[in-house]
Amino acid sequence: MNDKVKVLVVDDSISYRQILMSVIDKIADAECIGTAASGQIAIRKINMLEPDLVLLDVVMPDMDGVETLRQIKQQHPAIEAIMISSFDLKSSRETLRSLQIGALDFVAKPKVSSPEQGIAELVNYLQPLISLVQTKKYALLSRTPPLRTETLQTATPTLVARQRIVETTAQPLRSRKGKIDLIVIGVSTGGPKALDQLIPKLNPAMPCPIIIVQHMPPMFTESLAKKLNEETPLQVSEAKGGEKLLPGRIYIAPGGKHLVLRSHLDGDYCLAVNETPPVNNCRPSVDVLFRSVAATFNGNILAVVMTGMGRDGTEGVRMLKRNGAKCLVQDQDSSVVWGMPGSVFEAGLADEVVSLNELGNRINQLTL
């Protein structure tokens, strides 16, 4: 059995196809089994080659990456796709559409001075995503009819999490003053689609501000904020720095910059951005926001950690909870990757584990 992830590269640029082939060649767990110069050719080759993963350019002539992805998912729902996007407004909007359709994630084409540097950056971006695809491939190949012999002591984290939901929701979570004053959310892989489901379910009269860190590069967070703003009565915007926190407003950290909370001279709180080094290989980083909130904010805080790869946010939640904050994490079944929420759960920092379908309602309950 071939354990490597079989990859099909789809890009109308021959030079970028060659770059992506070089990238895959440097990732031990992957092999390039073919290339395609258009969406139509890609569909035909998928039927013949049966890849595990398609690296798919977003903007292509004739049939673009979004439509190609739509057809792939209709015909081969098990095949994963990672979108390869340029740094421009049109590409960012189309990339967000592709994530809604079912792309696993995306990587932006690096702006670098040499092909070698670009290849190195793409290897760094794609390696963990290909590892995730490989894990999913193993799970699919090894899937057997389940034996219902789990006990609470030997159950998977998901089963334990479900038990904790039953236990905790019997006594509704409340802050000391009976309300939450600030909500902070951290999310990564699978986040745009998850936020698209969460935000429209939030109370249109949300009585507190919400700050979100979604791991994304510049340009894409602006498009995400505009898209979400069209889907909710709440005002959603990309943070620029200098904004005062206002109830019912949702602020999204700008791609490529950290977002932090600061005390204002008049006693209010305001947002600030910076370009200090990445934390957990991320900028923006959930930990950076959460730590600044823990050090600055004087009210009752609800932290929410949603789908995402890695453990960004765990140490920030730890600091928030020292100040009495409560924490919800998205459950494993509804997460694309249970890395970030799973890390918080394994650290014993989650007060509740909640499915994505119920997360909006739960947040609404806690902020009444």
Nearest partner of 128 among 279, 5, 295, judged by Cα = 5
Burial classification of residue 304, based on how many CB atoms lie within 10 Å of its CB (0-12 exposed, 13-18 middle, 19 or more buried): buried
Element (H, E) at 7: strand 5-10
Distance in angstroms (rounded) separating the CA atoms of residues 224 and 314: 24
- Strands laid side by side in the 182-187 sheet: 235-238, 249-252, 210-214, 182-187, 301-305, 326-330, 352-354
Active-site annotation, residues: 188, 215, 312
Per DSSP bridges, beta strands 326-330 and 352-354 are parallel
Nearest partner of 328 among 121, 126, 123, 173, judged by Cα = 173
Place of tokens 């924490």: 327
Using DSSP's 3-state secondary structure scheme, residue 249 falls into: strand
Q: Contact 113/79 with Cβ under 8 angstroms?
A: no
Name residues whose C-beta falls within 8 Å of residue 118's C-beta, 6 or more positions apart in sequence.
Answer: 19, 109, 110, 112
**Residue 267 to residues 181, 231, 245, 344, Cα–Cα distance (Å):** 15, 32, 11, 32
DSSP string, 269-288: EEEEEE-PPPBTTBSS-HHH
Distance in angstroms (rounded) separating the CA atoms of residues 73 and 76: 5
Q: What are phi and psi of 80, to 5 degrees?
A: -85, 155
Element (H, E) at 45: helix 39-49
Distance in angstroms (rounded) separating the CA atoms of residues 353 and 92: 31
Encoded tokens for 104: 């696993």
